[in-house]
Amino acid sequence: MTDDVRRLQKASHRLMRPHRARAGGAAESCLGATPLPDGRCRFLVWAPNARKVEVRLVTERDGDRDRLVALEPTGRGYFAGVVDDVLPGALYLYRLDEDVDRPDPASRKQPRGVHGPSEVVDPRFAWSDHGWVGPPLQDYIVYELHVGTFTGEGTFEAAIRHLPELVDLGVTAIELMPIAQFPGDRNWGYDGTHPFAAQSSYGGLPGLQRLVDACHRAGLAVVLDLVYNHIGPEGNYLSQFGPYFTERYQTPWGQAVNFDGEQSDAVRRFFIDNALFWVTEAHVDALRLDAVHAIMDQSAHSFLEELTSAVHAQAERLGRRVQVIAESNLNDPRLVRPRELGGVGMDAQWNDDFHHALHALLTGESDGYYADYGALQQMAKAYREGFVYTGEYSKFRERRHGRSARDLAAQRFVVFAQNHDQIGNRMRGDRLTQLVSFAALKVAAGAVLLSPFVPLIFMGEEYGETAPFPYFVSHSDPHLVEAVRQGRRREFEAFTWNAQGPPDPQDPRTFESARLDHRLSAEGRHRALLEYHKALIRLRTDCEALRLPSNDNLEVIALDATRTLVLRRWFGADAAVTVLHFGREPATVTLPVPPGRWHKRLDAAEPRWHGPGSAIGAEVVSDGELRLELPAETVVVFTRHEEP
């Protein structure tokens, strides 16, 4: 505890009658509590539902000795003021209409949890990333992780020691699942209720800043997952301040956020300020927006467009690259189409279609939404166009779905064989490691990392982690806990994966089961799979034809009889042919390959990758066709370089 904080606490023990602060914050100031250099603090809150708002400065002892300071209304529902003798570390609440005390909607720290007082935070940090600009999107190779289960400690600080391993793997960015303050200390992050506060049990804003700074020193960008389609149920007091939510729409997770109704300008400002906060104060390089299809907004100038423009403008002011990436199940290319062409202007979007097509081929599953997938031609279409469903009838949805994205550059799509949703939304949270053969894991890695798209790896996937990733929470309300349990059971009614039902999300053992065992990466097949991933990434990075994310220089051939895909890519003098054999039996295939001498660069069947052995030599010659003997479920890559 600093001397300044001790002096503040000593002063705040004195019984003081409520008094008015000097009006300070205008609507353009930062929301929340902003410490000033002279020992004062500026407070700004939007609370149109209240006639009177006071700051209650909380002492550590007797609540009767807390200091109350009235804020001045500044118009359009904002209340602001500058309060003397308030230093970083001070605890406070907002008292609404002399009745209830609530934490700050824009709190930067919740040291006592989502229901407790907020803490004044000084966001300044001794950054060492001066000159860091961030990689272009085409160079992103993303590693998604959950802070709480990535290490035994479950903190930002603990994640730093694994950065050398990620650099050695070859990834160029880490993506953090949501870190906004949530109830308790176990949660996926999608139940956050304080969007500006980094989870205290993870290490708060200082811990996040240290992690980001360390990533930048290591050459890694940082993507942060943000949830703007809903706010978690426990500790959500926003509606007591203002009309943050609307009854006009519903989401699968509760009330929809008010992005287009009365007083929605201030709601938009709240979330856009939040995005800019993470970009500016935490130096993150990209924002991944969760489930934007559940952001209901019929306005002519959409919230997503406004947010994307604001983030890009701030990035330009800061001299950095900052990407905005959407998660959406709509298969709508307008999200990433430039604004001048009628789009939203986001930089990229997750492509669930690619995952579903790949997963169905690898597993043969046809439950739930996998009923729409399983054909090799669908995988070929995903490579050619991004989306599989571009207006065709979907059996699962019982309607037509999607729109063509043929005109979009490949870097507009993030693809994956696994991610938190596609593992965690299974009944038991089982990974591909439990579902397919070791050979098929290598096919999955090749399909993603040698695609023309931005690839994403889920934590532990690179070495075949066996720990599941089930859904987990740590709510304090028993009724809410039971509602979550029932909701998980209903979610799997369309699937027949496991008759036992999902694990209890509230049980600490469910959370503990998801922790990674990094020691596996040094053992047997796990080590071979890790080295195989490194080889794939090196190949993608070193070969120009594979490195550049372009679907213009791409030919895809599907051989249905043998369940084999051939991807031919080229750039300048470099050319590459990737053979993905999904068949579960050995096959002899004749492939259309341009004439010439081709060098084998990777063969998943070789013993060093724990394969059965390969009959393919180090060099092959094609006369326009290439005949290969392929074992079951394998990947082979050939390259050629011809000087002009």
Residues forming the active site: 290, 327
* Distant-in-sequence, close-in-space partners of 350: CB < 8 Å, separation ≥ 6: 288, 325, 326, 327, 328, 413, 414, 416, 419, 456
Partners of residue 250 on adjacent β-strands: 255
Distance CA 350, CA 141 (A): 13
Radius of gyration of the chain (CA): 26
CB 589 within 8 A of CB 634: no
Distance CA 243, CA 49 (A): 8
β-strand pairing of 221-226 with 118-119: unpaired
Distance CA 499, CA 223 (A): 37
CA–CA distances in Å: residue 294 to residues 145, 308, 398, 517, 563: 23, 17, 19, 35, 36
Q: Is 348 exposed, middle or buried (0-12, 13-18, 19+ CB in 10 A)?
A: buried
Place of tokens 């960008």: 221
Report phi then psi at 148, rounded to 5: -70, -25
Place of tokens 């929809």: 256
* Distant-in-sequence, close-in-space partners of 357: CB < 8 Å, separation ≥ 6: 373, 378, 379, 381, 382, 388
DSSP string computed for 116-156: S-EE----------TT-----GGG--EEEE-HHHHSSS-SH
Record the tokens describing residue 545, joined without a space.
């034809």
CB 414 within 8 A of CB 348: yes
CB 326 within 8 A of CB 347: no
Partners of residue 83 on adjacent β-strands: 41
Distance CA 605, CA 633 (A): 9
Q: Please give the single-letter amino acid code of residue 34.
A: T
CB 16 within 8 A of CB 67: yes
Q: Which helix (H) or strand (E) holds 600?
A: strand 596-603
Per-residue burial over 538-575, b = 16 or more CB atoms within 10 Å of its CB, e = otherwise: ebbeebbbbbbbbbebbebebbeebbbbbbbbbbeebb
Q: Is 485 exposed, middle or buried (0-12, 13-18, 19+ CB in 10 A)?
A: middle
CB 322 within 8 A of CB 224: no
Record the tokens describing residue 612, joined without a space.
């059965």
Q: Is 4 exposed, middle or buried (0-12, 13-18, 19+ CB in 10 A)?
A: middle
β-strand pairing of 91-96 with 78-83: unpaired
CA–CA distances in Å: residue 472 to residues 146, 185, 193, 328: 12, 10, 16, 23
